[in-house]
Amino acid sequence: MSEKIKIVSYQEGEIKNFIPDIARLRIEIFAEYPFLYDGDFECECKYLEKYASTKNAIVVVAYDNNQVIGISTGYPFADQNKELKRVFQKSKRNVNDYFCLAESILLKQYRGKGVGRKLFDQLEVFAKDFKQYKYICLFTSARPADDPKRPKEYRSTGPYWSKQGFCEHPELTFEDSYKEIEDDKETQHKMIFWIKELDLCQ
């Protein structure tokens, strides 16, 4: 990782200052395949306010000089919405055991240089330090391999999450409704959960 990239973590109230930066980054990166998410700045800022008021929420920020180039965010899964918690409850999982990695995103030109791993590593340290979560969970978009919208050069992040110690759980899925770029209404998108057990002894 280049020496000029700085990684800094923020918690709860401190997060408020970064909401516009996170919103801009989310809109730019989630517009890419496989999300193709048509984000709106105002809605994003409103959605992100929950980080600033959620106990144990974390935002890890990567900077190139003073520019925010990547983030990893997380909060207790118990603070997720009811539909997502229901997925875990239906499989007899205790939502209080899980810390949720909400997003880990990095501008394209900085990828493949170890920055993403650093962001995740710091988030994991925080998740462990709370000493109340047994697992970290996240969900990814589950588009089919023969999806006609899939760009030729696209690399799924599945192998990346496996490298960070996550296992895919095809039995834990849900449909997320959002508007894709160039669509005029929201459509359903299948999401799959990935889970990593936290080794609390380290």
Amino acid at 106: L
Report how far apart, in Å, the C-alpha atoms of 103 and of each of 22, 157, 168, 182, 184 are.
10, 12, 16, 23, 25
Report the residue number, 90 or 149, with the smaller CB distance to ligand COA. Answer: 149
Task: Pick one of 24, 117, 150, 179: the residue that binds ligand COA (CB under 6 A).
Answer: 117
SS3 71: strand
Kindly state whether residue 126 participates in binding ligand COA, applying the rule CB under 6 A. Answer: no
Site for ligand COA in 146-165 (CB under 6 A): 155, 157, 159-160, 163
Kindly state whether residue 128 participates in binding ligand COA, applying the rule CB under 6 A. Answer: no
Rounded Cα distance between 97 and 72, Å, is 20
SS3 76: strand
Kindly state whether residue 14 participates in binding ligand COA, applying the rule CB under 6 A. Answer: no
Kindly state whether residue 29 participates in binding ligand COA, applying the rule CB under 6 A. Answer: yes
Site for ligand COA in 49-108 (CB under 6 A): 103-106
Which token pair is 62?
């990567």
Contact (CB, 8 A) for 33 and 154: yes
Residues that bind ligand COA (CB under 6 A): 29, 103-106, 111-117, 140, 155, 157, 159-160, 163
